[in-house]
Structure 1
Amino acid sequence: MKPPASDLARRNRRMLAGAFTLVAGMVGLSFAAVPLYQVFCKATGFGGTTQVAEKGADRVVDRTVTVRFDAEVNRELPWQFKPVQNAVQVKLGEVREIRYHAKNLSDKALVGTATFNVTPDKAGIFFNKIQCFCFTRQRLEPGQELDMPVTFFVDPSLADDPHMKDVATITLSYTFFLAADQTAAAVQDQAPAGAAAVRPGG
């Protein structure tokens, strides 16, 4: 005996509602996964994710590490991009400023955005940026050149971590990409090309 048509209709509606809820939940989780992953990376330094600090460390310890600088540009962005200095030596907790040099090689204004990480990955939780061009999108006019600053320090607590005893060199890497939104760029306090690469007295 077949169930009444009204029962079938109710079952179909329940099945459709359940399927819709499942799909909506999966979509919601997929969107939530990205910011949750970013929060996790920032909190743990996972994948070489660096930290953001409002001010320098409260102490400087007598252990020195070499910080090397790397630069790449995605092929869709016709820019030249390189560190002004290849490496500096810093004491743990010491605030330093270095600069990257960028030049727009095209005949039109372009907006770029930079991704970044440090290696070894386990050093990410200890690498703190106070100022960085990577915090905002960057706009360069045709042929324009800029020296873009990065102010950073390596957390002195690195010296207390037994897992970091083998770390003598940290590499900070940036890759510039063509920004999806080319209509505007945030303005940042940047230095003209040729400015000093290291803060005086640093």
Structure 2
Amino acid sequence: MTVSRNETQKKARTTALACLGLVVGMTALAFAFVPLYDLFCKATGYDGTPLRGAAASGAISQDTMVVHFDTNVAPGLPWRFVAETPQVEAQLGATKTVFFRVTNTGTVPSTGIATFNLQPGLTGGYFVKVQCFCFNEQTLQPGETMDFPVVFYLEPGIKTDSNTRDLTEMTLSYTYFASKNGQPQAALATPAGTRAN
């Protein structure tokens, strides 16, 4: 049995189109992976990503956990950033508010946005942020200081989960980055004569 030239060309075109479709699909999947992973972490608290929600409405437990606060500023953003207190003891199920002070030590207005995570990562699914400065970028004038709140609560279920019930403390860590269009910029040029504090 002989295969005609037209059939061979048709099979070659079909194979080429299938390969092209596979390449386009894999490229689209690669670009979609990061935002989909981010959504997954925000929805589940996976890998130390705190949940976002409304004010606590359930029962308040007598159990407590110590929450430590770690503040950082990326190079290139001339800001000073500190928590009002290095740690708080939070009653499970009770809403807690902590303020963070940010100062622009530079000579020009600058805009920053904070990234965050919790350690140990298993606690992310039980830490619920009601309000946080990290949800939006902030612009500060030269020398301006602002106080920003974080309102949160810890789900009492953290003590019934076999993976987290023995934990007594966690660390909420923030890093301020220079921001462009609401996205953190890891490396922006620092004007001569200025440095991050």
TM-score of the superposed pair, with normalisation by structure 2: 0.83
**In structure 1, C-alpha distance between the alignment counterparts of 2:136 and 2:122, rounded to whole Å:** 25
1:57, 1:156 within 8 Å by CA — same for their partners in 2?
Answer: no
CA displacement 1:36-75 (0-9 Å, x = unmatched):
2122212332210100111214111101111111101110
Is it true that 1:34 corresponds to 2:34 in the alignment? Answer: yes
Is it true that 1:129 corresponds to 2:147 in the alignment? Answer: no
* 83-92 or 8-17, which deviates more: 8-17
SS in 2 for 1:179: strand
**In structure 2, C-alpha distance between the alignment counterparts of 1:113 and 1:12, rounded to whole Å:** 51
Partner of 2:69: 69
2:93, 2:153 within 8 Å by CA — same for their partners in 1?
Answer: yes
**In structure 2, C-alpha distance between the alignment counterparts of 1:46 and 1:23, rounded to whole Å:** 30
Letter in 1 for 2:80: Q
**In structure 2, C-alpha distance between the alignment counterparts of 1:2 and 1:44, rounded to whole Å:** 56
Counterparts in 2 of 1:170-185, with a 5 A limit?
A: 170-181=170-181
* C-alpha spacing 1:3/1:101, structure 2 compared with 1 (3 Å): same
CA RMSD of aligned residues (A): 2.0
**In structure 2, C-alpha distance between the alignment counterparts of 1:169 and 1:113, rounded to whole Å:** 26
Partner of 2:23: 23
Partner of 1:158: 158
Question: Deviating runs (4+, > 3 A) in structure 1?
Answer: 1-4, 6-16
* 146-155 or 161-170, which deviates more: 161-170
**In structure 2, C-alpha distance between the alignment counterparts of 1:140 and 1:43, rounded to whole Å:** 31
CA displacement 1:118-143 (0-9 Å, x = unmatched):
11111110000000001111111111
**In structure 2, C-alpha distance between the alignment counterparts of 1:91 and 1:11, rounded to whole Å:** 68
**In structure 2, C-alpha distance between the alignment counterparts of 1:23 and 1:162, rounded to whole Å:** 43
**How far apart are 1:144 and its partner, in Å?**
1.1
**In structure 2, C-alpha distance between the alignment counterparts of 1:3 and 1:166, rounded to whole Å:** 73
Unaligned runs of 5+ in 1: 183-202
Unaligned runs of 5+ in 2: 183-197
TM-score of the superposed pair, with normalisation by structure 1: 0.82
Partner of 1:85: 85
2:104, 2:141 within 8 Å by CA — same for their partners in 1?
Answer: yes
Matched positions, count: 181
Partner of 1:185: none
